[in-house]
């Protein structure tokens, strides 16, 4: 009986350790896009860089998708100020990976959030 209980305890510890190892730090947020590099699939929002995996598509609330290359950021070479209506705002979810933050969901908002 004690061998069975100790074996069960070992299996339970391995399972708990496995779940803890797969737990990821998550972040939800929204804000204006600062910069987009569609070639490297990196988006900067609220001055933090996020990678965007190929499988993740930027969507509109209506359900349509938006290519990363069409997203508009505030930081543009040669432009000191960019009008707020020329910047895309996003709502997103991201997870912390070893090499930084990675977006897992991107929604391009139809206007400036209030």
Rounded Cα distance between 20 and 3, Å, is 26
Q: What is the mean pLDDT of residues 85-102?
A: 93
pLDDT at 83: 80
For the structural domain made of 25-108, what CATH number should be given? 2.40.50.320
pLDDT at 29: 93
Rounded Cα distance between 30 and 108, Å, is 10
Residue 81: pLDDT band by 50, 70, 90 thresholds?
confident
Please provide the average confidence, as pLDDT, over all residues in the chain: 83
pLDDT at 69: 93
Return the exposure string of 60-70: e unless at least 16 CB atoms fall within 10 Å of the residue's CB, then b.
eeeeeebebee
Pick from 94, 96, 92, 95: nearest CA to 109 = 92
Residue 61 has pLDDT above 50, yes or no: yes
Domain ranges of the chain: 25-108
């Amino acid at each position: 009986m004690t061998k069975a209980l100790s074996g069960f305890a070992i299996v339970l510890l391995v399972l708990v350790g496995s779940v803890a190892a797969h737990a990821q730090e998550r972040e939800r947020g929204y804000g204006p896009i600062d910069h987009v590099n569609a070639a490297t699939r990196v988006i900067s929002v609220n001055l933090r860089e996020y990678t965007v995996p190929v499988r993740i598509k930027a969507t509109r609330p209506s359900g349509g998708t938006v290519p990363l290359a069409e997203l508009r950021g505030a930081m543009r070479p040669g432009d000191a100020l960019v009008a707020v209506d020329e910047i895309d705002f996003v709502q997103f979810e991201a997870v912390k990976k070893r090499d930084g933050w990675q977006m897992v969901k991107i929604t391009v908002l139809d206007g400036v959030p209030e």
